[in-house]
Chain A
Amino acid sequence: MSDVSVDMSPSLAGVKMTAPLLEVEELKVEFRTRAGIAKAINGVSFEVNSGETLAILGESGCGKSVTAQAIMGILDTPPGYITGGQIRYRGVDLLKRTDEERRLVRANKIAMIFQDALSALNPVFTVGFQLAELFRKHRGMSRADGKKRAVELLDLVKIPAARQRVSDFPHQFSGGMRQRVMIAMSLALDPELLIADEPTTALDVTVQAQIMSLLAELQRERQMGMILITHDMGVVADVADRINIMYAGRIVEKAPVYDIYAKPSHPYTKALLESIPRVDLKGQQLNVIRGLPPNLTRIPAGCAFNPRCRYVRDACKVDPIPPLYEIKPGISSACHFWKEVRGDD
């Protein structure tokens, strides 16, 4: 975009530009359903800075999307409730702010890309309308100016013939193109932080790579912070700087991306890596993880992973829950026996 010199986005009182972009501290979320209280997130903490990509990785139902929704402030309440912790944007705890202040943070400061663009885009409005809406409602632009900006955005995400396509409806785009529209929409107001919730899961493999590299490129150019949420170990390798592994609403391992692959420190991470089919191990039995993730209304005592763990001991089956042991700066694991897992002595 051409005129980034003027920052027109609304400012939030108390923001310190020196503070980290986003800090999540001891976040707790539960869902109150008829079947009982599901503890979706049980004290999650992490930090993202400008220009870096943090991947949050885990099975479906581990709480990674819920974390994203809690940060965005778009959790469905009821049934979802944030019961504790802080979400600090530039030092400001968003959970203590009014709905109106939080609304202005969305899209302006923190934007989100959703998994399935077909259902995430409104089927009855043109793509141009949905993009221009952001400029009209947040920047007070006219319809015509908004549409002009929409075309620029479509160009930015490399949609061919953007001028014509701007008046098409979402269902007229291919899956990959739709996800580009979704990306364009998230970038419209120059957010500082981008949350990408499984941005490529719904796409073909070849398209996945294109979308990921587009995302990485845009993130680098604009020095945004990015939270990449995924269940796919392959996707994160090229893009992420650091990885947090989530299991049953907790982070079980944190490490820079290289270390995770080279030397996992938690049995769950290790199992995830071993369940990726590898060409060099052709013909051998694939190591899938036994069993199922726990029911969040009845998380087992002790380490939540203990029923499926290869390294399980009696200590794992009783409280206290293993804390995140810091192994070295930047690497930690929530396993009592991390030494054994890593093969360290």
Chain B
Amino acid sequence: MGRYIVRRLLQFIPTVLGTLFLLHYLTTVGIQLTGNPIRALFGDKRPAPETLAALTSRLHLDDPCLKQKGNPCLGLFRERLVDIGQLDFGTNFRFRPVFDWRGFFDRAHASIITDALPYTIKITIIAFTIEALVGVFIGMRAGMKPGKSLDYSVKISTVMVISVPVFVLGILIQQFITRDFGNFLRGQEWIPEVISRGVFGSAYKQEFPFASLIIPGIVLGMLSLATTARLTRTSVHENMRADYVRTAKAKGLTHKRVIGVHTLRNSLIPVATNLGLSIGGYMTGAIITETIFNVPGVGNQTARAIFQGEPAVLIGITTMLVLVYLVANLLVDLLYAVLDPRIRYE
């Protein structure tokens, strides 16, 4: 186990560097193709040359290599790595930092991410809980009785959910459930506000910091819920026919133990790793869901950076998200080794 962890940690460093370089290269080429992104911030107005120059230099966009199409800008990459090492992810064009860890403790050092993160963490926890509990449970039930009605309904409904892009699902739910149905609820005197305006509110509301995140959380978790249910179903279904399950039966164990211990323990290995990987999906999902329901989280800030033409913020947030994703991947791999002894002793 120890050797596996060491090996995996050693692999982690080049993966991080490689991924950060890839991100750097692709965005750099983007800037080289588009031209100075600062200009676009001013729209039709023509800024004074010195303002433009000052901004450009402050945002590290004055490097001449940014004018040479295809140049990988290794110098810039090195600078960026040093910045990342110091937890500096850049600023927006008003010089507000993308990230400042002191912002978690001190309002004076507030930054884009520290302000937004609590909302995103809350909505992600809601989504993840729903995904893990509901997805695993229905997948398990369906997988244990293949060919029965529950199995078919899980199969069909998960395909449906997977085929509906998250943003379509989001806007449909927002329109028909939180707006139309919510309006109906809000017309009923006897329904408490926390339900009618909180849970079924069509956007995030500060007065209902938890209730108004439930439906956005469900929308965020829906896609992974479907994939988790499907994966659990297949995995349980396959393991039910495994030789060692037959052995467990031949050992005269009760049905409950054959299923509960021998089948499930094995079936849940891929499911657990998939739950870990769904964090990557949540990052993009949060951008969509938070935008639709107007939750002031990290995803909303990402979308805002796109619409306001703030590539520096976009790149900064993405870099941080990618780092989180890589760490999550690492943890999933370690979890995998804990769950599956065959990996551990390789």
**Chain A directly contacts chain B within the complex, with at least one CB pair under 8 Å:** yes
Contact of B243 among A72, A104, A120 (CB under 8 A): A120
Give the distance in Å from the alpha carbon of A3 to the alpha carbon of B249 in the complex. 26
Binds B, one of A82-90, A131-139, A263-271: A131-139
> A26 at the A/B interface (Cβ < 8 Å)?
no
> A245 at the A/B interface (Cβ < 8 Å)?
no
- Mask, A227-262, CB within 8 Å of B = 1, is 000000000000000000000000000000000000
Interface positions of B from 232 to 267, Cβ below 8 Å from A: 241-244, 246-255, 257, 262, 265-266
- Mask, B327-346, CB within 8 Å of A = 1, is 00000000000011110010
Give the distance in Å from the alpha carbon of A104 to the alpha carbon of B265 in the complex. 24
Q: Are B266 and A103 in contact (CB under 8 A)?
A: no
> A116 at the A/B interface (Cβ < 8 Å)?
yes
Q: Are B266 and A123 in contact (CB under 8 A)?
A: yes
> B269 at the A/B interface (Cβ < 8 Å)?
yes
Q: Are B250 and A119 in contact (CB under 8 A)?
A: no
> A40 at the A/B interface (Cβ < 8 Å)?
no
Q: Are B241 and A172 in contact (CB under 8 A)?
A: no
Contact of B269 among A107, A122, A124, A169 (CB under 8 A): A124
Q: Are A169 and B250 in contact (CB under 8 A)?
A: no
Query: How many of A's residues come within 8 Å of B, CB to CB?
Result: 31
Identify which of A103, A124, A185 gathers the most chain B CB atoms within 10 Å of its CB: A124
> A112 at the A/B interface (Cβ < 8 Å)?
yes
Q: Are B252 and A108 in contact (CB under 8 A)?
A: yes
Give the distance in Å from the alpha carbon of A160 to the alpha carbon of B244 in the complex. 24
Contact of A124 among B248, B254, B340 (CB under 8 A): B340
Q: Are B253 and A133 in contact (CB under 8 A)?
A: yes
Identify which of B243, B247, B262 gathers the most chain A CB atoms within 10 Å of its CB: B247
Chain B residues with CB under 8 Å of A120's CB are: 243-244, 246-247
Identify which of B242, B255, B341 gathers the most chain A CB atoms within 10 Å of its CB: B341
- Mask, A16-29, CB within 8 Å of B = 1, is 00000000000000
CB distance from A46 to the nearest CB of B (A): 20
Known: A106-B251, A107-B252, A172-B345. A119 touches B242 (CB 8 A): yes
Chain B residues with CB under 8 Å of A121's CB are: 244, 247
> A171 at the A/B interface (Cβ < 8 Å)?
yes
Known: A122-B262, A124-B265. A171 touches B242 (CB 8 A): no
Q: Which residue of A lies closest to B269 (CB)?
A: A124
> A111 at the A/B interface (Cβ < 8 Å)?
yes
Q: Are B252 and A122 in contact (CB under 8 A)?
A: no
Q: Which residue of A lies closest to B243 (CB)?
A: A119
Contact of B251 among A99, A107, A172 (CB under 8 A): A107
Q: Which residue of A lies closest to B341 (CB)?
A: A169
CB pairs A–B below 8 angstroms (19 shown)? A69-B246, A74-B246, A104-B252, A105-B252, A106-B250, A108-B252, A112-B250, A120-B244, A122-B262, A122-B266, A123-B244, A123-B266, A124-B266, A124-B339, A133-B251, A138-B252, A171-B341, A171-B342, A185-B247
Residues of B at under 8 Å CB distance from A?
Answer: 241-244, 246-255, 257, 262, 265-266, 269, 339-342, 345
